[in-house]
Amino acid sequence: MAHPSEMTRLPSLLVVEDEFLIAHDLRRILMKAGYQVIGLAESVDEAKATVADQTPDIVLLDIFLDGDETGIDLAHWLNEESIPFVFLSANLTDGLLEAAKRTQPFGFLTKPFREKDVLTTLEIARYRHAHSEEAKLRQQQTIQIAVNNAIVTIQDREQLCLAIARQINQLVPFSFLNLRIGLPDESSFYWLMLEKNKADTFGRVNLAALLRSEADTQLLDKLDREAPDRLGEQMGVFTGEAFNQLCDSYVTARSCRDNFGVRSLMLFPIQLKRNSLTTIILSSTLPDGFTQKDYQAVSLITPQIALALDNLLAYEELEARRQIKAIELTIVNAFRNGRDLRTVLTQVASSINDLMPVDLTAVFQVGQSPETVTFDSLVHKQAGSFVPLTEQDLFHQYGIQQADWKQALTDMRSWLIKPTLSVGCQFTDGAPDNVMNGLYRKLGLQSAIYVPIFSKDQPMASLVLASRAPYAFTYKDLSTLQDISIQMGLALENLLAFEQIKTLSEQLELEKTYLTEEIKTSHNFGEIIGVSPALYTIFKSIGQVAPTDSTVLILGETGTGKELVARAIHNLSLRKGRAVVKVNCAALPAQLIESELFGHERGSFTGATEKRIGKFELANGSTLFLDEIGELPLELQAKLLRAIQEKEIERLGGKGPIQIDTRIIAATNRNLQQEVANGRFRSDLYYRLAVFPIVVPPLRERPDDIRPLAMHFLQRISKKLGKPLTSIANTSLQQLFTYPWPGNIRELEHVLERAAILSSTTTLELAEPLRASPFFSSAIVTSQLSEEVQPIDETMRAAILAALAKSGNRIRGSGGAAELLNLKPTTLEARMKKLNISAHQRNTTF
């Protein structure tokens, strides 16, 4: 094997050898070959001290060293420090060789050794170390990618935990994995424990089996709300005595040790975006099951795990909101379609039961005075279904006296008019000792929740839920029910007036349909939707210019519907029998626009294998719509001017002019007057196009059109996606009115379509809040539209003065004003004289 090149940087070495001659001989060999020897050490302590001062790249280590510690002891320490080493040995026994192999050396050198053997072994050690580190890095990257894949595909807590366990196990073997998620703001706690089986598969551990030796009988009942201990606040590796101290302080660690034989732990705090106490705990049945290197390896993927959990919790929150909205919709439909409150309450209880465990649901009406508490309806669960209970049922089946029942309702008023959570000891010790509490006991109920229902800021009724589980409800459930109670309040208030509302809704729908048809009949403007005064001005302009053959220039920002205006003009013209021909001047390369507009003869240029007629000929007898006319190259503007002016064109390679009868409608979002002043657009073409300008205002200047446009797009998107979308949420509609709409109608349609794709109910809500871009500014044409059109002499004067300033007051020659304006010098001089541009302004032009 060839020695290392002198141009390659060679690693630094530390020689640990207690035989003086061998150590110095090794240093001589290594330094001769170009290696840097940072020191010679005779013992383990001396070697550690040298490494602390300067870390070597490789260590040459004698297995037999004088002192209490041998080279094998030092090898274990070097492994922890990730420093590769090569053993120096002689006369190894089988047992010593096995012990040396377990330290995972990068090579062996047997004494006595030759110079070539030393250098070759070092090269092999360098190669093996480099590739082992690379393999570890690849493995870590693979695990990170696998966890990221879990983020994308898994939306279930247990499945995500299983995926994380499988990936971590490939990096660091373990016996048990615990995932604990505490959300104090929601009084929620989630704990999942997995056990590794022999085939490297994982099974869920019953927490009751884990905590069976603990004396606190309420510990399991509280696990869905709070952690059994504060073990999740710890972090690091715990083995030996540190593990035993951990078990003395924390019930979770002690239970793992006593019931599952755990002897070492690693705790990883997971930092989530929301307020939480989230921890992953890896456990091993081996006393020294984990090292600091294992902890560092797993710590590399904790950011991916945190992202996975953040996404999962966000998905669960969205799903919970969707479920709440579905419950609210069910409640509204129940009140709308139910004949009486008892029937309605049965449907309400069934829908709420999907969100939280409910065994009893009741509604009590609450008046202004303490005595005015009346029982409306009560349903309780029997064999999985909710069955109504009337007051007569309570009197006959449960032996309740009518006077006692009335007094119990009066005593309950303080509980009914404020949100109250009654679970555990609060329920058993805090409830009043009356027939209501006795009814709860007879029904086996152990927790309850009271939610007032308001109307005009006054308590109107109260919704009562109860469960047979002692800790069935949390403060998050109370907050959720308060949100639901808003809809219930509205539904209760509107129950008696439902028929009247239904009649009025039908009448309004008929009027809306009539008005819509009236607008279409009166104006016949197709898909131009709106009721604003600005839009009616456009309708009037369309009606005035459509019957003529005059050229029309449509001005407006992008997305305002300029093409629809052009089609409306065509559809109301005498040319409507033929299709309008459209050309987007910005979508074609400059070298193809001329052929596209005017056509070409066969052989007129390379690649012209056949004759082709242009858009002007195609639109003969019809309308040619030139979109983005401001993008038309300057050299083609003269040919377009001739086509408009002379009513004739000439194909590329053609032999003569062709007469055409084509009406021109152009559109742009540019300020063409400014383009003329800057020399990028011909003034004569501009005045030919601007015979009848129509300004389409941006959507932000006509907010009256937002609602009809939104409903029009909602119907079209609903049909396109096959979703029964019937309305837009009020909060979303308010956002539509206040948003500035830089992308105008096109942006509105796309925002609604995205929201419709993500919508899971018939009422559309925006997927995310609308925020105007900080870089959004008013449209380019706004200043043009707000100013009055100037006389042609003033525009020409401004263009000439701008060209003179840009050319340094030169008229003739390359870069002169005449060339910039695309005029002959003599023509420019004549116009300057006509416009009374003084001589001293051009006395340096010759």
Q: 221: which 2 tokens?
A: 């009942």
What would the pLDDT profile of 454-464 be if each residue is shown by its tens digit?
877 778 788 88
For 484, 821, 825, the CA distances from 830, given in Å and listed in that order, are 81, 14, 9
Q: Are 837 and 797 in contact (CB under 8 A)?
A: yes
Least confident range from 414-428, 678-692, 693-707: namely 414-428
Among 35, 42, 38, which Cα is nearest to 19's? Answer: 42
Q: What is the pLDDT at residue 625?
A: 92
* pLDDT beyond 90 at 365: no
* pLDDT beyond 70 at 220: no
> DSSP assignment, residue 140?
H
**How is 584-621 classified by DSSP, letter by letter?**
ETTSS-HHHHHHHHHEE-TTSSTT--S-EE-HHHHTTT
Q: How many CB atoms lie within 10 A of CB 137?
A: 11
pTM: 0.43
Q: What is the pLDDT at residue 108?
A: 84
Span 246-252, mean pLDDT?
Answer: 88
Contacts of 167 (CB under 8 A, 6+ apart): 143, 146, 147, 150, 301
Mean pLDDT over each residue of the chain, to the nearest integer: 81
Q: In whole angstroms, what is the distance from residue 629 CA to residue 624 CA? A: 12
What would the pLDDT profile of 465-504 be if each residue is shown by its tens digit?
888 887 778 777 888 888 888 877 777 776 645 645 665 6
Residue 266: pLDDT band with limits 50, 70, 90: very high
Percent of the chain residues past pLDDT 90, beyond the cut: 8
The torsion of the CA quartet 818, 824, 829, 833, rounded to 10 degrees, works out to -110
CA 745 to chain centre: 24
Residue 790: pLDDT band with limits 50, 70, 90: low
Residue 176: pLDDT band with limits 50, 70, 90: very high
N residues, the chain: 846
Contacts of 398 (CB under 8 A, 6+ apart): 439, 442
What would the pLDDT profile of 97-123 be if each residue is shown by its tens digit?
888 888 888 888 878 878 888 888 888
Q: What is the pLDDT at residue 238?
A: 93
Relative to beta strand 373-382, strand 385-389 is antiparallel
Residue 774: pLDDT band with limits 50, 70, 90: low
* pLDDT beyond 50 at 842: no
* pLDDT beyond 70 at 521: no
Q: What is the pLDDT at residue 840?
A: 44
Task: Among 145-149, 341-345, 506-510, name the most confident range.
Answer: 341-345
* pLDDT beyond 80 at 712: yes
Q: In whole angstroms, what is the distance from residue 618 CA to residue 598 CA? A: 10
Q: In whole angstroms, what is the distance from residue 311 CA to residue 186 CA? A: 17
Strand, helix or coil at 38?
Answer: strand
**How is 491-534 classified by DSSP, letter by letter?**
HHHHSTTHHHHHHHHHHHHHHHHHHHHHHHHHH--TT-----HH
Percent of the chain residues past pLDDT 70, beyond the cut: 85
Q: In whole angstroms, what is the distance from residue 180 CA to residue 193 CA? A: 9
Q: Are 540 and 568 in contact (CB under 8 A)?
A: no
Span 695-706, mean pLDDT?
Answer: 90
What would the pLDDT profile of 25-81 be if each residue is shown by its tens digit?
888 888 888 888 888 988 888 888 988 888 888 898 888 887 788 888 888 888 877
Q: What is the pLDDT at residue 6?
A: 39
Q: What is the pLDDT at residue 281?
A: 93
Q: 267: which 2 tokens?
A: 């705790």
Q: What is the pLDDT at residue 390?
A: 78
**How is 649-693 classified by DSSP, letter by letter?**
E--BT-SS-EE---EEEEEESS-HHHHHHTTSS-HHHHHHHTTEE
Higher pLDDT, 276 or 552: 552
